[in-house]
Amino acid sequence: MDMAKRSAEDELEDFLKEIMAKANKELKRRIEDPQSHAWKEALKRLWHPAIGHFKNLHPEYEVTDFLDGKRYIDLAYIRPPYRIAFEIDGRSPPSEGCIPAGFLQ
């Protein structure tokens, strides 16, 4: 295995361990969910090669919508003044009725 890929995998593992150590029950459940595979791969294959670290990233970031409901963003990059949301796997409100297997066809 080449060093760049191994480094990204190792850093992602360390990043997730750090998050899980501080996470509440819901965040742990969401990070361990097999549906989180897409954003984890995006971090390894896109984010790490481009940025080189996972600082300021928040997986499964909870936000309150305008109706006081809770929504979860796959990844949030928060470094004032920047606040950027990344939806990797399509689990956003507009796609609630979609069947994930349908995206593979």
Tokens representing 5 are 């890929």
Average pLDDT, the chain: 83
pLDDT of 42-72, one tens digit each? 999 999 999 999 999 999 999 988 887 888 8
Confidence (pTM): 0.72
Helix axes 3-22 and 25-32, enclosed angle (nearest 10): 150
